Structure formats: structure tokens, C-alpha cells
Amino acid sequence: MMAPSGVSMKSIVILISGRGSNMEAIVRAGAPGARVAAVISNRADAAGLAFAAKAGVSTDVVAHTDYAGRACFDAALQAAIDAHDPDLVVLAGFMRVLGADFVRHYEGRLLNIHPSLLPAFPGLHTHRRALAAGVRVHGATVHFVTPELDGGPVVIQAAVPVLPGDSEDSLAARVLAEEHRIYPQAVRWFVEERLTIVGGACVEVAGVRPACFALHLPPLDTE
């Protein structure tokens, strides 16, 4: 995708650990004025690498098992990312906890997607926990990454109903479909320079009202 005349093309690096379905959604959606410069995985067998290569995106592997500790791995990963001079780094199912120094290096340009309506259910096993809690609404959140796990400023959320008889798998599938909608949207807003972090906690999206609120509500289908 070409940038408008006189405007530099923004570079995006996406990190994955597995199939990379959110990475695929972002690559397929595209964003005017930006290009996915690279997809990097911590696992050589990550299925998403094949899709990225077929799409003409550079791929790389920085295997966490090759390093003695998290600090060494983070440093190697940072070097691989910075080789592409990214404007934005996107975590798309990247299953490694990143250290505070790494996160601060990409402050304001590191996005993650989490399968819950944060601040509810941070961490792992979100769908199981949502079902156990008996909530009627679940969803997904795109947020800027901070050293606090799943605690960064929220960019956009998508809500889905929790239906009678839902299993972890059925609920996860409903949430994932919305992840594929909102993550490309968040990336596009970033590329368009419409996101402003206010007070370290709130993200204002230019053109979206009210301020500090961006929620995608899919049609309710209970059949």
C-alpha cells in the first residue's frame, strides 16, 4: 500500500507465536500509508510464518529457547525488530511475557490484543474464567502495552454475548471473530495518527465520540 505523496510509509512489525490469525487479519485488511515490514516469531514452527512469507512479508525467528534468560531474549528480539525501524509493533498471539525495559523501548507504539473486556479477566484462560463467573457479556480489547500485564490504555473493545450452553471453544470462536475486526481497525487508527494517550490511562480516538470510548458491538444473534 503506497503512502500519499510527501508522506513517509509507516513500518509495522508483527510478533506471533502460533497460527497468527490476527496477524493474517491485519495483513489482509491493510492500512493506507503503512506496510507490514516483518513478522517475527519466537517459534520456528509457528504456522503464521508460512502465511506471511506467501504474502510477501519478511519473516524471522528469534527462538526464546536459544537464550539463557528473558533479558537476553528481549535484547535479541529488540534487535531483530529494530532492524526494520518500525513505527508500530503489534503483538498478535505472542506468547512470551516481555520485560519492562523492552516495553518501555516501544512505549506508545506497542499494541496487544487480549481476549476479554479489560480490566476484567487479565492473564490466561479468560473464556473459562468468564464462563465460571457467569458473565452475560464477554469480548476482546486492543490496548497499548505497559509494564503492567494487560494494564495498558485501552484503544478499542468488542463485546459479544455469552449464550446459554456456551463452551470455552464456542465462546472463544465468537470472541476471535471480533478480534479480527477490531485489531485491524486499531492499527489503522494508529497509522492515521488518530490515537492520543491522555493521562497515561485513556486513549482518545480522533473522530470517535465520546472521547475515551471506542466499542464495537456486533449484531446480536442468538440463533
Q: pLDDT tens across 117-140, in order? A: 999 999 999 999 999 999 999 999
The per-residue pLDDT for range 129-171, each reduced to its tens digit, is 999 999 999 999 999 999 999 999 999 999 999 999 999 999 9
| Measured distance between the N- and C-terminal CA atoms of the chain, rounded to whole angstroms | 39
Does 105 qualify as catalytic in the annotation? no
Q: Which of 64, 105, 114, 138 is catalytic?
A: 114
pLDDT at position 62 is: 98
Identify whether the C-beta of residue 35 lies closer than 8 Å to the C-beta of residue 191: no
The per-residue pLDDT for range 82-100, each reduced to its tens digit, is 999 999 999 999 999 999 9
Whether the pLDDT of residue 180 is over 90: the answer is yes
Question: What domains are defined for the chain?
Answer: 1-106 (3.40.50.170), 113-223 (3.40.50.170)
More reliable by pLDDT, 216 or 31: 31
Cell matching residue 214: 471506542
The per-residue pLDDT for range 22-67, each reduced to its tens digit, is 999 999 999 999 999 999 999 999 999 999 999 999 999 999 999 9
The per-residue pLDDT for range 181-212, each reduced to its tens digit, is 999 999 999 999 999 999 888 899 998 755 56
Whether the pLDDT of residue 1 is over 50: the answer is no
**In whole angstroms, what is the distance from residue 157 CA to residue 185 CA?**
11
pTM above 0.85, yes or no: yes
Using H for helix, E for strand and C for coil, what is the string for the chain?
A: CCCCCCCCCEEEEEEECCCCHHHHHHHHHCCCCEEEEEEEECCCCCCHHHHHHHCCCEEEECCHHHCCCHHHHHHHHHHHHHCCCCCEEEECCCCCCCCHHHHHHCCCCEEEEECCCCCCCCCCCHHHHHHHHCCCEEEEEEEECCCCCCCCCEEEEEEEECCCCCCHHHHHHHHHHHHHHHHHHHHHHHHCCCEEEECCCEEEECCCCCCCCCEECCCCCCC
